[in-house]
Amino acid sequence: MFADAQSDPSLSKEEFDAQEPRLRAALLKAQYRLLERADRSLLIVVSGIDGAGKGGAINLLNEWMDPRHIHTLAFGAPTFDEQEHPPFWRYWNELPAKGKTGIVFGSWYVPLLLEASRKKPRPRRMTTYAEAITRFEAGLAAEGVQIIKLWYHLSAQAQADRTKVLLSSPETAWQVKPADRKVHKKYDRICRAGQQVIEHLNPPHAPWTIIPSADEHMRAIRTAQAVQQALQHRSPTPRAQVFNAPGLARRHSPDRLAQLDYHTKLDKEDYESELGLLQGQLARAVRSDAFRERSLILAFEGQDAAGKGGAIRRVTHALDLRQVDIHPISAPTPDELMHPYLWRFWRRLPRQGRIAIFDRSWYGRVLVERVEGFASTADWRRAYAEINDFERQQTDHGTIVLKFWLAITPEEQLQRFHERERSPFKNFKITPDDWRNREKWKQYASAANDMLARTDTEHAPWHVIGTNDKRYARVHVLKNIVAALEQTL
Amino acid sequence: MFADAQSDPSLSKEEFDAQEPRLRAALLKAQYRLLERADRSLLIVVSGIDGAGKGGAINLLNEWMDPRHIHTLAFGAPTFDEQEHPPFWRYWNELPAKGKTGIVFGSWYVPLLLEASRKKPRPRRMTTYAEAITRFEAGLAAEGVQIIKLWYHLSAQAQADRTKVLLSSPETAWQVKPADRKVHKKYDRICRAGQQVIEHLNPPHAPWTIIPSADEHMRAIRTAQAVQQALQHRSPTPRAQVFNAPGLARRHSPDRLAQLDYHTKLDKEDYESELGLLQGQLARAVRSDAFRERSLILAFEGQDAAGKGGAIRRVTHALDLRQVDIHPISAPTPDELMHPYLWRFWRRLPRQGRIAIFDRSWYGRVLVERVEGFASTADWRRAYAEINDFERQQTDHGTIVLKFWLAITPEEQLQRFHERERSPFKNFKITPDDWRNREKWKQYASAANDMLARTDTEHAPWHVIGTNDKRYARVHVLKNIVAALEQTL
């Protein structure tokens, strides 16, 4: 792979001067074309041997391209904030919008490269990191994020020479950090690690390019060429099989909604007593010391008028307002549409000790977007695995994820619609959309059944609750939350 | 003020039932009108006596209004993130967009109320908090944020009764937190504190309403009425004098730009040596332990083609990419236009140990927005004091704020424009806008001189540098940064 690892090819000043103007003009033209089309964003992952001039290459791109549309995304040690979320959260958070370019420094390859360059890499960890990266990159690529990865390479001799030259003058000596002086000893191991990573994580939708970096001119020209080619030629869409996500769904009947108990009722007195006691249990659980290290995500889905709002208010009544965020989810904003689908949900995840309640959720993609045709078939089909993976990343981090499908019968819905229409202060809740959705009852039910079959996982289970009787439903929502908390904490 | 403090007025169930439907319908109608007009946002500050049912009132508003357009902004103890920024950062960050409503719980009144309810409130702190609040609220109000403040009140007897009733059943006992049991003893002091705060911080643009809260029905109706009235009647615009901000500008000639040295030159050899040494000093300073507790904001302004980009790249060359964020500032996005002017800058402030570089900045309001008429005269006139206050909040927190005006002569600009036009990879930097701005040279110069006269403060100084010679300019930018860091750290 590093065939030229010992050769350090170079480019004369004359050759460089001959190529520079044309290349810069082409690069800019391609950048503006991306900006205008805004059909995708570009992520440039910058990695490689220490001292190969990664920082210089980033400066070069900022100088040669229009820097107003480039974001340098440089990640160091995780901040407190970042530590309170799953590892990929920081990268999701910073994704550039369509039309824009992000240069990633300190990328998701850092933990894998560190592991791979140990004396004895631990195979289990290597596999875990590599699989997570594979899913992450494939998911982004499928959502219109083009990824290219640049490996800045130079020989051991060139690395040593560079340090020597820099150290020879006080004007440049500061560029050599203490860590750089130790790095030579590890050259072989880092090289091996890079080689391994490049070989195994080099899919057509997120390819590596090796940039010979000993010579400044060569490095500049090759960097600009790689970026310009990426801007000009869109990468292929990843194949579907890379989305196989962890956590297979549990087996259930294919028509869970039809088999639900819609008719059990709870009288008012029992309801109030049970509700109060459950709220007390919930209040104690989320104020416990054990919960401070965890967090809780509650996602509510269900037919219109199934009682999501009422159920959510009974839950929040038990919570400290300072501990909870409620996110009503409707159609994505223009800004959200310029990012991968799951981006807006990643940004709303609770930090440790906190609770996020979603009134509708990321399941929109396999429900409304599927039924109404807002998402392509390929998009919503792929979403099941993506969602399972998304939730799994949360639960692996220690977050408790519970999902509720609140189900009513068509007859009950009709009655509630009429009731809403008659009320001067509830008629805002009923719109022509609701009536239209009702006509597609069967399509929505079938989408919901598919969703339940494919995303009811051990780590993030669905609770399907009949809500013809609101009291019964609310008590059962609380019961499930309390049970999950008591089991986990 | 709390005339009814001992009386606890109540409302019968019948009266409540008679008022509810009309009030809810009116509230919703007013909410939708705000949403449609989107001429302002509404902030509802919720405060008052413990146990008066503030949480219940927030739930009520979420139930009676359309919760999709309400954000509950509940602030507890500051997070790590929040501790690394000035105190008002958390409130700025969460401001709702125009058309939306935010309910603020744990507001900017908490520190003031805590101080005021001490046995002996410290007058100095009281004044500092009160002045900061006055400026904050006036600034928001002038920028289209309507503020109302609700004080939930009940008598000492009612407070004690409520606790007793709740404790009498396991279904409700959990609602009484351990702290609530102690609160009765402090009733008088909290009452006095509230009274003081309400009297002194009750401007027409951010008025207080007292909500009698012992009776649930009374509390609900009065809350809804207060919000409905606010939605219907816009508050008056604050008077200009409340903007008098701390940190008077230093005295300079009224035409600083004319008196600048544009002609000193630096030869290439001296330049490279000086630049390298200064970059080394900068690199050491920002990597020092002392800097970890501070942060650095660099704002670059100047005429088109004055060399901001080139100067910034010479600075970033000395920095660790993981430590710095570069923010190119251009016209606000639609989302940014829905928020107060300074919102987008608050959101880009560096946390501790970090550096933020602004390529153009919040000074746009008194430069391009003033000259091109994008801001009203009242808006840009008020901006000087707002900006001084904004910067002062950063420096009070320990941030170092440096501002650079890079100045060229009109002749030099013309030459650079032509040069850019001729270059195949620099012509993107020159647009019809640049030529139009050039025609308004005098207006821009006069706006810049005004800005320098009004915002060159001790805490956040302007460095005005002639840049006809790029080498001279770059070295001087670095010199000023290094000097400020060495003086502070």
Q: Which of B15, B21, B99, B28 is nearest to B62 (CA)?
A: B28
Which residues on chain B are in Cβ contact (under 8 Å) with A224? Answer: none
Inter-chain CB proximity B21 and A424 less than 8 Å:
yes
pLDDT digits (tens, 9 = 90+) for A422-436: 998 888 888 899 999
CA distance B307 to A134: 42
Q: Which amino acid is at A72?
A: T
DSSP annotation of A105 reads: E
The pLDDT value recorded for residue A243 is: 59
pLDDT of residue B243: 58
Cα torsion A471, A474, A480, A481: sign: negative
Closest by Cβ to B428, choosing from A28, A174, A309 = A28
Look over chain B and give the mean of its residue pLDDT values, rounded to a whole number: 93
pLDDT tens digit sequence for B278-309: 999 999 999 999 999 999 999 999 999 999 99
Res B247: pLDDT: 53
Chain B residue numbers with beta carbons less than 8 Å from the beta carbon of A175 are 283
> Cβ(A48)–Cβ(A213) under 8 Å?
yes
CA of A20: which chain B residue's CA is closest? B425
| CB-nearest partner of B74 from A59, A175, A321 | A321
Cβ–Cβ gap B81/A79 under 8 Å: yes
What residues have CB less than 8 Å from B343, skipping those under 6 apart?
Answer: B92, B95, B336
Chain A residues close to B64, C-beta within 8 Å? 425
Distance from the B101 Cα atom to the nearest Cα atom in chain A, whole angstroms:
14
User: Are B351 and A79 inside 8 Å of each other by CB?
Assistant: yes
d(CA A471, CA A403): 19
Sort out which chain B residues have CB atoms less than 8 A from A334's CB and list them. Answer: 334
Residue A196's pLDDT is 94
**Is the pLDDT assigned to residue B400 strictly greater than 90?**
yes
Give pLDDT tens digits for B125-145. 999 999 999 999 999 999 999
In chain B, residues with a C-beta closer than 8 Å to the C-beta of A170 are 276-277, 280
CA distance B489 to chain A (A): 19
B325: nearest CA in chain A? A72
Which superfamily, per CATH, for A246-488?
P-loop containing nucleotide triphosphate hydrolases (3.40.50.300)
Structure tokens at B27: 């509230």
Out of B75, B170, B277, name the one closest to residue A277 (CB).
B170
Distance CA A13, CA A206 (A): 32
A413 to chain B, minimum CA–CA distance in Å?
Answer: 20
For residues B390 and B92, give the distance between their C-alpha atoms in angstroms, rounded to a whole number: 11
Instruction: Classify residue A405 by its DSSP letter.
Output: E
Alpha carbon separation from A263 to A305, A310, B394 (Å, rounded):
17, 18, 60
Query: What gap in Å lies between CA A329 and CA A361, rounded to an integer?
Result: 6
Q: Is residue B408 scored above 90 in pLDDT?
A: yes
Distance from CA of A382 to the nearest CA of B (A): 29
pLDDT, position A18: 95
How big is the A-B interface in CB pairs under 8 Å? 135
Of B21, B75, B321, the CB nearest to A105: B321
Q: Which residues of A touch B171 (CB under 8 A)?
A: 272-273, 275-277, 280
What is the reported pLDDT for B268? 95
Q: Is A246-488 in the same CATH topology as A13-240? A: yes
pLDDT score recorded for residue A48: 95
DSSP at B457: B
Tell me what the mean pLDDT of segment A391-420 comes to: 96
- Answer whether residue B59 shows pLDDT above 60: yes
- Contact between A226 and A46 (Cβ < 8 Å): no
Q: Where are the domains of chain A?
A: 13-240, 246-488
Nearest CA in chain B to A75: B322
pTM: 0.93
Instruction: Name every chain A residue with its beta carbon within 8 A of the beta carbon of B28.
Output: 425, 428
Q: Which residues of A are less than 8 Å from B322 in CB distance? A: 74-76, 105-106
Tokens representing residue A261 in the block: 């108990």
Alpha carbon distance B359, B44 (integer Å)? 35
Residues of B in contact with A321 (CB under 8 A): 55, 58, 72, 74, 105
B424–A81: do the CB atoms touch at under 8 Å? no
Q: Which residues of B touch A330 (CB under 8 A)?
A: 68
Question: Searching chain B, which residue's CA lies closest to the CA of residue A430?
Answer: B66
Q: Which of A25, A170, A351 sits opposite B280 (nearest CB)?
A: A170
Contact between B130 and B200 (Cβ < 8 Å): yes
Q: Is B374 helix (H, G, I), strand (E, B) or coil?
A: coil
Whether A430 contacts A417, CB under 8 Å = yes
Judged by CB atoms closer than 8 Å, whether chains meet at A80 and B75 is answered as no
Q: Do B21 and A72 touch (CB under 8 A)?
A: no
Rounded Cα distance between B411 and B431, Å, is 18
Interatomic CA distance for residues B44 and B58, integer angstroms: 10
Indicate yes or no: CB of B322 within 8 angstroms of CB of A106.
yes
Cβ contact (<8 Å) for B424 and A22?
A: yes
Percentage of chain A exceeding pLDDT 90: 85
Summarize pLDDT for A100-144 with one digit per residue, the tens.
999 999 999 999 999 999 999 999 999 999 999 999 999 999 999
pLDDT for res A292: 93
Task: Give chain B positions within 8 Å (CB) of A172.
Answer: 276
- By CB atoms closer than 10 A (0-12, 13-18, 19+), residue A436 is exposed
Q: Say if the Cβ atoms of B66 and A428 lie within 8 Å.
A: yes
Contacts of A284 in chain B (CB under 8 A): 174
Measured between beta carbons, which residues in chain B are less than 8 angstroms from residue A75?
322
Residue-wise DSSP of A154-186 = --HHHHHHHHHHHHTSTTTGGGS-HHHHHHGGG
- Give the β-pairing of B399-407 and B355-359: unpaired
SS3 label, residue A300: strand
Nearest CA in chain B to A336: B335
Check if the beta carbon of residue B224 is closer than 8 Å to that of residue B18: no
CB B152 within 8 A of CB B49: yes
pLDDT tier at B242, thresholds 50, 70, 90: low
pLDDT exceeding 70 applies to what percent of chain A?
96
- Put simply, the answer to whether B170 touches A276 (Cβ < 8 Å) is yes
Q: Which of A279, A324, A359, A425 should be substituted to probe chain B, the one whose Cβ sees the most B Cβ atoms within 10 Å? A: A425
**Distance from B199 to chain A by nearest Cα, in Å?**
27
d(CA A274, CA A278): 6
Query: Is pLDDT of B208 > 60?
Result: yes
Closest-CA distance of chain A to residue B46, Å: 12
Query: Which residue, chain included where needed, has tokens 């920095």?
Result: B319
- Which residues have CB under 8 Å from A61's CB, separation 6+? A44, A70, A103, A223, A224, A227
Residue B237 reports pLDDT greater than 90? no
Say if domain B13-240 classifies as CATH 3.40.50.300: yes
Tens digits of residue pLDDT in B4-50: 556 789 999 999 999 999 999 999 999 999 999 999 999 999 999 98
Which band of pLDDT confidence, cut at 50, 70 and 90, is reported for residue B367? Answer: very high
Range list of β-strands (E), A319-386: 324-328, 355-359
Instruction: Please tell me the number of Cα atoms within 13 Å of B60 on its side-chain side.
Output: 21
**Contacting residues of A for B66, CB less than 8 Å apart:** 428
Cβ pair B71, B102 in contact under 8 A: yes
Q: What is the mean pLDDT of residues A9-33?
A: 95
Tell me the nearest-neighbour CA distance from A130 into chain B, angstroms: 24
Q: What is the pLDDT of residue B405?
A: 98
Average of per-residue pLDDT values in chain A: 93
Nearest to B102 by CA among B71, B61, B132, B60: B71
Contact A174 B283 (CB under 8 A): yes
- Name which of B82, B282, B425 to mutate to probe chain A: the one with the most chain A Cβ atoms within 10 A of its Cβ: B425
CB contact under 8 A, B428 and A32: yes
CA distance A150 to A146: 13
Under 8 Å CB-to-CB from B23, ≥6 apart: which residues?
B64, B221, B224, B225, B228
CATH topology of domain B255-488: Rossmann fold (3.40.50)
